Amino acid sequence: MKTQLQAITDHNEQVAPEFMLLTEGMSVSNHTIIACTRQSERVIGETYASWVVLAETETKSFHKWVTWVVMATEKGFQAQWGHYFAEESWEEAVGRYKNRGGRY
């Protein structure tokens, strides 16, 4: 049986980048997605699909956690805007994620 991550990865390999799906465990801009909540659907000619995400950095950085809005564009997943949090600010990061409509 496939995991959700594997099923979505398989789906993403078969579609154009702007129709890809995002899920926990994927990497966007050197950050691993911990949680994500779909905010909008792709409407051809009007808007891209978007998610609010809570992610952990994969690199040595000044921040440990981020909350972003991520969009699936023709170039793949793009982090659009967000907030960055130090390692000790986990609760604040989760709170910001939930305030943006994220479910965790």
pLDDT at 71: 95
User: In whole angstroms, what is the distance from residue 39 CA to residue 41 CA?
Assistant: 7
How high is the mean pLDDT of the chain?
92
pLDDT at 62: 85
For residue 65, being part of any structural domain is answered with yes
Would you say 26 and 33 are in contact if contact means Cβ atoms under 8 Å apart? yes
% of the chain residues with pLDDT over 90: 71
Tokens (6 digits) for 41: 């659907």
For residue 104, being part of any structural domain is answered with no
User: In whole angstroms, what is the distance from residue 56 CA to residue 80 CA?
Assistant: 16
pLDDT at 25: 96
Domain residues for the domain of 43 are: 4-99
pLDDT at 61: 84
- Which parts of the chain have pLDDT scores under 50? none
Nearest to 72 by CA among 34, 35, 36: 36
For residue 50, being part of any structural domain is answered with yes
